[in-house]
A and B are shown apart, each in its own frame.
Chain A
Amino acid sequence: MRPRVAFFSFGSCEGCQLQVLSVEDVLPELLSVVEVVNFREAMDDRGDDYDIAFVEGSLVKPDDVAELQQIRARAKILVAIGACACLGGVNAMRNRRPVTELAREVYDGRQDGVFAALPDASPLSSVVQVNYEIRGCPIDRIEFLEAVRSLIAGTVPYVPPFAVCVECTLRGTPCLLERGIPCLGSVARAGCNAVCPAYGAPCEACRGFHEVPNFEALGEAFFRHGMTRTLAAEKLQLFNNYREVREAWEQAVPSSSAT
């Protein structure tokens, strides 16, 4: 019997679900190995009986917590997809300031229509057990398919343990850091085939960190290439600002003021 899969979304741009939908060329093959029972962005049916739940987004509203717990209770396997779900992502940038202060600033003091927000935007793993993660902002469609294949085969989806530099170098991309561009590739987790640096954009570590990131050395690398250590800290806050993720690097590179 084909495993039943469901897709759910919390605080996010829903771009990861779009990536899933972009697999048109292999959609028939995909649907021959899984049965999709819940996928709001793609269909009307809403099934509550599923084996694998793919969940994107970070927890931002008080209601999100119970909803995720319910998904966890129903799913045999829960897979976090994307930077928001895995790391807190860009949503967690707000965590450095009180949510009331931000609401006042952003909404100019108006309360009508503004939903209640959790004090911190947080990754799924802060509330429930996450079995597997597919990282990235957005996730990579090939990596998603590979994860599906692994789950069907009963194996562990592969997550590269190494740095973006590996994929970047093998693409023959000239090092951005060597050109004085603030790139986080040397601490960031690979799996994206270093697509951003290939087009001249520095790595923002949207997949979090590789297995043994050395943030002191990252600070030194920035410094050696004419940039400040503080700039490294500022860059790290874009995707890796959730409390527990931030703790990994905050001691090593001086943190800047709240962004």
Chain B
Amino acid sequence: MTTLISAEWIRLTSSRIWLWGGVAALASGAFIGLLALAGPENFDPPLPPLDTAEGTRVLLGLLGFLACLPALFGTAAVASEYRHGTVTTTSLFAPRRWTWLTAKLLAYTGAGLVYGFLAAAVAAAALFAAAAIDGVTLGLPVGVVLSLLARVALTMAVYTLLGVAIGALLRNQVAAMAVVGGYLYAVETALTMIPGVKALYPLLPGGATAALTGFTYLADAVAGQTGEPAVPLLSAPAGGAVLVGYALVAVAIAVLAPLRRDIT
């Protein structure tokens, strides 16, 4: 398995996807810094300022909202095996398909973790720098900020795993990316507006992520728009558990489903 994981690492680092991933991670972190510098109170609609706990949480939560990006990278990386036809050669070198699929899942989860911590480190540096420039103190203690950022980084790793699993299942690169991006950015948010269905939101990937990262802005905003009370989210550990549960189910399906498929 170690050999297969290192082969996946060669596959990843031999194309430019790692470069674009790195750029996206840096840009995600820097984006949070820019928002902090602009001041959440100056947004339209205005948000609580940076020196309040709520304001700091919103910015950290926005970084979590960008967890879909590494998921898209994971999806693209795996689905490209099918798109470019390398799945045939890969399956010849590792005929027990679950082995290379598992190696991919592990390698890309590692890559997602690196992505998450890179984005979180840049965001942390940018947040503290922006607060210093504005002459304010962040509304949350340093320990809490770092803990929330670590949760965001872990969320990104889990999302990458989800993305890889969906890429392995759907195989069509464009369709897989459309499904992942479309669901995480559009469908799930839309679900929060439907009475009845929105009660499920805390159990959906986005809701679980919001619970883990403490980011309730979207749910609150929707509640404000619809005039209905926001659905209470799960606790952070429960949200994390739900997210990991999704990842494990996706992994199980991704590993088991292709075993009987013909590679033609």
Does B associate with A? no
